[in-house]
Structure 1
């Protein structure tokens, strides 16, 4: 497989969140490599609130990982007490 993830470092929290989404999407692709099967299943899970919540949880976990790798964007105007 081609290397696509070279670093968890990002410049901003927004970029970090977008990376978390990409990590989540790639996780699905690695778990189910068949695009045809993923497309077949999409209508089922895209209308199910529970599966959408689960997907959001995976993104949140990945965002935690990215945020830690970026030391919670140390140096931003936000203090540690408000994080």
Structure 2
């Protein structure tokens, strides 16, 4: 089974969680070395600009998920 079977979610909260997962998977696929990611984490975990940029990526992914779910309109 794929790690991403669908962009469909039941709720906006589930959609936001999916947006976070999409963002994290992008990092993992870009840098597949666990040790390298672990070494770099302190650099960005304590950098306000890096955290703001990470939030922007999640927001962009959430926009995609929201569109795929017709903004959860019923």
TM-score class, shorter: over 0.9
Give RMSD over aligned pairs: 0.9
Residue matched to 1:29? 28
Could you list the runs of 5+ residues in structure 1 that have no partner in the other structure?
76-83
Residue matched to 2:61? 62
TM-score normalised by the chain length of structure 1: 0.87
Residue matched to 1:44? 43
Q: Which structure: greater helix fraction? A: 2
For CA contacts below 8 A with separation 6 or more, give which structure has more relative contact order: 2
Moved over 6 A (4+): none
Q: What SS does the corresponding residue of 2:36 show, helix, strand or coil?
A: helix
What is the alpha-carbon distance in structure 2 between the residues aligned to residue 8 and residue 60 of structure 1?
15
Structure showing greater radius of gyration is: 1
Aligned residues: 74
Q: How big is the shift at 1:3?
A: 1.9
